[in-house]
Amino acid sequence: MTVRPVVPGSISCRPLLAAACLAAVLGCEAQPARIDHAALPDPVLDRAMHPLHAAVVNSKGERLKGRSVTYAVAPAAIAEVTTDGSVRCATSGDATLTLSGGGLSSNVPVRCRVPTMIRMPDAMRLVAGGPAVPVKAEVVGEGGAPLADLTAPIVSTDPAIAEFASGAVRPVAFGRTTLRAVLGDIVGVTPVEVVARVAAGPVSL
């Protein structure tokens, strides 16, 4: 029978080390690591409330109880934020949202681009089989100021009559259709009439 020597302190140290490790792990899990929040639309195209659902979390992404988040936004003329963390754009412009909690702070850019209308060309009258004609939709905000960094996609409601592609409308066949540009809730339209090509020839007297 082999008798192994007992190392002094070996029996009592192991539980102490385990307890220390557990305490260290629990301590880390209780430490704020970051502030999580829902992503805002980029850009924000309306004046609706956008809830952030922000929370202070640990390194595992777990919400920490008792760690509240406060909110501030500047400039206040561009956007506003409620005490429970919902953001609303007041007008077009750039703002910065600051989230604070658990000794942490995080800045979130807010790009407000609130269109009021989409300018489209006046009604068009094209000849079937003729060349494509460039068409541009201009997005504007309050006071008619262009929102140059916004693009409103244009589509034809009947491509068999007039097809829109690569920034131009191409008359295809006799009939009527509409070009529509949509951005959020804002719509711009251009009526398009395509007439038949008149064949050239001698005139009989």
Residue-level pLDDT at 131: 97
Q: How many CB atoms lie within 10 A of CB 85?
A: 19
CB proximity list for 84: less than 8 A, separation 6 or greater: 51
- Whether the full predicted model's pTM is greater than 0.85, yes or no, is no
pLDDT grade for 27, boundaries at 50, 70 and 90: low
For residue 51, cis peptide bond before it (omega within 30 degrees of 0)? no
pLDDT grade for 21, boundaries at 50, 70 and 90: very low
- Whether 119 has a pLDDT exceeding 60, the answer reads yes
Report d(CA 204, CA 98) in Å as an integer. Answer: 81
